[in-house]
Structure 1
Amino acid sequence: MSQESGVASTRKWAVLAAGVGLVYVLVRNRQTLLGPLRRVWTSGGLLPQRQIEVINSVQDPATQWVLNELKKHCQNFKVLGFDCEWITVGGSRRPVALLQLSSHQGLCALFRLCHMKQIPKDLRELLEDDSVIKVGVAPQEDAMKLSHDYGVGVASTLDLRFLCVMAGHKPEGLGKLSDTHLNYKLDKHWRLVCSNWEAKQLEPKQLNYAANDALVAVAIYRKLCRDLEPKYFWQRCAPDDTSLRNKFEPFLDVDFTKGFTLNPTGSGMTRSKGSAQPQGKKWMLKKQPYRQMATRSKDFYDNCLLQAPDGELLCTIDRRKASWYINQNLGTQISEEPFTVRLNFEPAGRAVGDVGRYYQTPKENQCVVCGERDAYIRKNVVPREYRKHFPMVMKSHTSHDVLLLCPTCHQLSNISDLRVRNKLATQCQAPFKREDGSVKYHDDPELKRVQSAGKALLHHGAKIPAPKVAEMQKTLLEYYTEQSEVTEDLLRQAASVEYRIENSDYCQHGERVVQQYREKFGGLVELERLWREHFLHTMQPQFLPELWNVNHNADRLEVRASEGRVDKADLLVAGLDAKVKII
């Protein structure tokens, strides 16, 4: 080979190596290199393609056309940007004046409800269509105002801040989200925000502001979806990726502020699995208003073995329980590894069918949703506020419904549970929030003033200014009309007044739901099935224990009934009395 050909060959290999290296660098750093370009492309394509349609009346010829176009756009991409505007007069909020809905194709409809006075039928159907997600920042608040002012429900609202947390981004207001993710600055001047949305004719600045809020919401949604399921630049996908809906399902119609809060100390849970850790201030999940278990970093399942006297395996148990049998002389240790205890007495029942095999199978110490093994919390799939009102036969041996979740999955699951609680509250007429039926006692304002005045004058009368004393004495004499003067006996009587009155309509949410399912909705196995199916649907666990199933307790009660270990009353409560024969 000549020297020139050798040099040429070397150059070819060098060029090839350089090309391979360049491709490697581009692929490895694609997020850093392509991120700014993607943001510029997204924001650049956002506004030039927009089409703003202002609807002033139901009879407006454009009304039906706009609604038909929005519905057509939602056939391919079932997401709408959603926002509302209103004015405040004398500290009181006026009804919603403007409703903004925008599609991914740039069509933004501005419905001037203050002039329309009613919601057109097709618009009502679109708002109430739960297959179309309405995205924005705090859309639940706008939905509540629409419901209050116009009697229309808005289904499937989704706060974009939930997606931010899931993707590892800081959840911010719409203006900052637009700047961060779209490289587009929204005009959020207070004069524009607080302008007259009930004016006879809206100014161009108002139209731009209103339309942009709805348009950027859709664009931010699409960008966050790409962050949740990133793809290489050569991969193509349809705009409607329905596979993501299952991830969002737990957060539809849920108030973001009930699930997350800013943690200035930077401690606590701050990100979803596999996401980048945000710098500076961090976001953590807020504790829910119901009992939670402490986080564990050591193994929860010891998978010790418990045997019957003849050596048949009964179940796996934890080390402490196994040691208890030995210390109580109820069992004998057979081996150390695995730690095995054989009972000295005949147990009430043996392992039968899949129900028995479930309790015999060793359990993994990992999050059943994502497989995380570093730390976990026990999750009651059927919440304790319901389970505690079950009959004893359905409260014992409930480890099937206690699963391990990592802290992030545990909190996300708790947030998703709010939807089921609210549905049960409506179905069973069992208020979950602080409404009339959920308050055990009412405070009588008049009696409270009487007690307060009596206590103050009795214990601190000498220190109270004379005008205030006269006012308090007047309060007492107006209540005790038969008295002509305030005496010490009257003060003592007033100070002991009970101002808390028991609410005759009070019901405890969990107790009422259990009662209703026992009597009207097919028994408690149906309530159990509801919660288990909800957990499977919303969390999509990938690491459930073998033989875990939604009908577990029903199958367990059937086994017990076949052995004569359950009575008809318990089966009736469970909803199985017509299906199971009692021995």
Structure 2
Amino acid sequence: MSNSTVTPNSKKWAIVAAGVGLVYVLLRHRHSIWGTLRRIPRHRANTMEQAHIEVISSLHQTRSIVNQLKEHSRHFKVLGFDCEWITVGGSRRPVALLQLSSHQGLCALFRLCCMKQIPKDLRDLLEDEDLIKVGVAPQDDAMKLSHDFGVGVASTFDLRYMAVMAGHPAEGLGKLSKTHLDFQLDKSWRLACSNWEAPQLTAAQLNYAAYDALAAVAIFKKLSYDLQRQQFWDWRSLKSDDLHPQIEPFLDVSYSAGFTQNLSRGAGADSGFHTLTAKAKQRKPKKQQQQCRNLGTQSKAFYDNCLLQAPDGELLCTIDRSKAAWYLTQNLGTQISEQPFTVRLNFEPAGRAVGDVGRYYQTPKENQCVVCGRRDAYLRKNVVPREYRKHFPTVMKSHSSHDILLLCPNCHQTSNISDHKIRSKLATICEAPLANGDGVTQYHCDQQIRSIKSAGRALLHQRERIPSEKVAQLEKAVLDYYKEETEISEELLKKAANLDYRVENDDYCQHGKKVVQMYCDKFGGLVELERLWREHFLNVMRPRFLPQLWNVNHNADRLEVRASEGRVTNEDLAVAGLDRSVIDLKDSMKT
């Protein structure tokens, strides 16, 4: 038989072998191939490589460029945003240059120092809430424009929020560009501090200014693909509207202030802020350790998933090991098995597991972040914050485990920051000021009374060390306050020293308590407040690993079950926003 002879079967097997080999290579190197495909510059096309820079120095040039920016932003409503100015003698001059760039590579450089005012078309563009203006610390630039030209820049968004949401370090614009675009921005201090009011800007200045804004919108696109988690074969065009629910809570919120305020809030009112780690704890990267350095750790899982049974063996719910041990030590239950650890009650419970509500409590829970699935570190997150839940009636706060979910430190921080906007909205609609409002202190300080108290204490304890002229002034102040007294005595000074200078604030209200009361009275009951927070969590965090049967109407369903069993009062149903007659009608229809 000749060596050149090849049978049809051998050809077929060769093709099969080649196919198997190709599949093996693709599977074996799928991560590196996927990474290469992800690095294809679809997020940079028409943004960095095909940049088109337009310099606008007069009012009549503005309209055409603004219309182009609007046209480019019709489907992808994002603009890169930045400003430049100069400092003379330690004082900042008004903003000299405003940079706006579209995702198609157009960057408009508006020389405000030449125009002296912002044209109406440009003002409308900046004030358009539907157009997101992205950058690093864009709120600072927006404040400068507001101060210098009286324009309000709406919907600013700090790219560092998006980096954290996508699981990346929060870095400056230069590092973000290098990391996510593989594009090196020129961050020379000589250019940054150059004369932006010069009659003619140099090419280096124009490129420096333009590429900052162009990089901002390109980074947004790249991180958008990370958040959308598109498969490599999915080449649908990206729409900013798809991401809007996730980023909306961070619009116009300063990055540094957002993290500072919400970390301190999280340590108190929100969730107890205990970090739990799985038994097989892994070492976190250095940057991640720094980001979460203020969080304490515990070395045990949150869910033990022990089983609790009724006397007849019906499963009631899963509980933690300490609760199971308590039933045993109190002789309220008997251990049935070790794996899984099971306790059977010695008494008939008040209720049994009914419907999806009951099945939720029966289902074992995973010790992992419900958003990203991370298992080595997690925090307890109160979806409905404790500052509201603590004012609920007992029947609605005694079984709140449904709203305690596990998040990794990064997701927990992101979620806490997003909560700020909901709190602010509640503060407005419920007339319940937050910690930075006017009506949050229970007492005012009466400065006059405080000064008299201080004078009384000084004269009582420090008279020998005070100059005679000052003693005379203090005595006169005390006598002027106590007009019925004609001379200074020790009793009078003691009376002055014990004055209470706190005056009760008539406008005082506790934010959480006021919000709860308003929902009870005007906004449909507390189940609506719960639904608001749960839907906010779903829209912003997009959790992929929620416990089975978790839903936004959980408490309403649970109360309906209790009402059908006669275990909840009409008053509690009214506070929740439920109608017993409707519940009774549903029960009659079921039967």
Same fold by TM-score greater than 0.5: yes
Q: Which TM-score band (shorter chain)?
A: 0.7 to 0.9
| Conservation of the 8 A alpha-carbon contact between 1:295 and 1:407 | no
Q: For each residue in 1:316-373, what CA deviation from the matched residue of structure 2 results, as whole angstroms up to 9, or x when unmatched?
A: 2222222222322322333333333222322222221111111122222222222222
Structure 1 residues 4-23: aligned runs within 5 Å: none
Match of 2:361 in 1: 359
| Conservation of the 8 A alpha-carbon contact between 2:107 and 2:210 | no
The answer to whether the aligner puts 1:408 opposite 2:415 as a matched pair is: no
Q: For each residue in 1:187-236, what CA deviation from the matched residue of structure 2 results, as whole angstroms up to 9, or x when unmatched?
A: 5449847x787x9x786698776555433422443455567789999996
Q: Which amino acid aligns with 2:582?
A: K
Aligned CA RMSD, in angstroms, stands at: 4.7
Q: Which amino acid aligns with 1:560?
A: R
Match of 1:434 in 2: 436
| Conservation of the 8 A alpha-carbon contact between 1:124 and 1:152 | no
Tell me which moved more, 516-525 or 448-457: 448-457
| Conservation of the 8 A alpha-carbon contact between 2:126 and 2:154 | no
Alpha-carbon distance in structure 1 between the residues aligned to 2:552 and 2:235: 38
The answer to whether the aligner puts 1:564 opposite 2:571 as a matched pair is: no
| Conservation of the 8 A alpha-carbon contact between 2:370 and 2:546 | yes
Alpha-carbon distance in structure 1 between the residues aligned to 2:155 and 2:313: 55
Alpha-carbon distance in structure 2 between the residues aligned to 1:326 and 1:411: 38
Q: For each residue in 1:106-156, what CA deviation from the matched residue of structure 2 results, as whole angstroms up to 9, or x when unmatched?
A: 2325274996767737743653324x3211122234445666787765443
Aligned with 2:557: secondary structure? helix
CA change 1:277–1:230 in 2 (3 A) is farther
Can you give the 5+ residue segments of structure 1 that lack an aligned partner in the other structure?
4-15, 262-267, 270-275
Match of 2:512 in 1: 510
Aligned with 1:413: secondary structure? helix
Aligned with 1:437: secondary structure? coil
CA change 1:556–1:173 in 2 (3 A) is same
CA change 1:238–1:312 in 2 (3 A) is closer
The answer to whether the aligner puts 1:185 opposite 2:186 as a matched pair is: yes
CA change 1:223–1:314 in 2 (3 A) is closer
Match of 2:77 in 1: 78
Match of 1:162 in 2: 161
Alpha-carbon distance in structure 1 between the residues aligned to 2:67 and 2:584: 57
| Conservation of the 8 A alpha-carbon contact between 1:477 and 1:485 | no
Alpha-carbon distance in structure 1 between the residues aligned to 2:547 and 2:409: 19
Alpha-carbon distance in structure 1 between the residues aligned to 2:376 and 2:384: 25
The answer to whether the aligner puts 1:543 opposite 2:545 as a matched pair is: yes
The answer to whether the aligner puts 1:284 opposite 2:286 as a matched pair is: no
Q: Specify which of 329, 348, 351 is matched with residue 349 of structure 1.
A: 351
Structure 1 residues 478-497: aligned runs within 5 Å: 480-481=479-480, 491-497=493-499
CA change 1:394–1:46 in 2 (3 A) is same
Q: TM-score, normalised by structure 1?
A: 0.76
* TM-superposed deviation, 1:78: 1.9
Structure 1 residues 174-323: aligned runs within 5 Å: 174=173, 177=176, 182-189=183-190, 192=193, 211=210, 213-225=212-224, 238=237, 240=239, 248-249=247-248, 251-260=250-259, 283-285=290-292, 295-323=297-325
Structure 1 residues 71-150: aligned runs within 5 Å: 71-84=70-83, 99-104=98-103, 105-110=105-110, 112=112, 120=120, 123-124=123-124, 127-130=127-130, 132-143=131-142
Alpha-carbon distance in structure 2 between the residues aligned to 1:207 and 1:327: 76
Alpha-carbon distance in structure 2 between the residues aligned to 1:128 and 1:303: 50
Match of 1:384 in 2: 386
| Conservation of the 8 A alpha-carbon contact between 1:375 and 1:406 | yes
Tell me which moved more, 223-232 or 181-190: 223-232
The answer to whether the aligner puts 1:330 opposite 2:332 as a matched pair is: yes
* TM-superposed deviation, 1:473: 5.6
CA change 1:36–1:410 in 2 (3 A) is closer
Aligned with 1:481: secondary structure? helix
* TM-superposed deviation, 1:238: 3.8
Alpha-carbon distance in structure 2 between the residues aligned to 1:256 and 1:413: 13
CA change 1:285–1:278 in 2 (3 A) is closer
Can you give the 5+ residue segments of structure 2 that lack an aligned partner in the other structure?
4-17, 261-274, 277-282
Aligned with 2:480: secondary structure? coil
* TM-superposed deviation, 1:474: 3.7
CA change 1:461–1:203 in 2 (3 A) is farther
Q: Which amino acid aligns with 1:134?
A: K
Structure 1 residues 401-480: aligned runs within 5 Å: 401-456=403-458, 458-463=460-465, 466=467, 470=469, 474=473, 477=476, 480=479
* TM-superposed deviation, 1:533: 1.0
Q: For each residue in 1:168-199, what CA deviation from the matched residue of structure 2 results, as whole angstroms up to 9, or x when unmatched?
A: 65534445655775312145449847x787x9
* TM-superposed deviation, 1:401: 1.1
* TM-superposed deviation, 1:72: 0.8
CA change 1:554–1:26 in 2 (3 A) is closer
| Conservation of the 8 A alpha-carbon contact between 1:81 and 1:218 | yes
Alpha-carbon distance in structure 2 between the residues aligned to 1:190 and 1:455: 60
| Conservation of the 8 A alpha-carbon contact between 2:372 and 2:545 | yes
CA change 1:432–1:184 in 2 (3 A) is same
Number of residues paired by the alignment?
541
Aligned with 2:73: secondary structure? helix
* TM-superposed deviation, 1:529: 0.6
CA change 1:519–1:188 in 2 (3 A) is farther
Q: Which amino acid aligns with 1:532?
A: R
* TM-superposed deviation, 1:547: 1.1
Alpha-carbon distance in structure 2 between the residues aligned to 1:333 and 1:182: 63
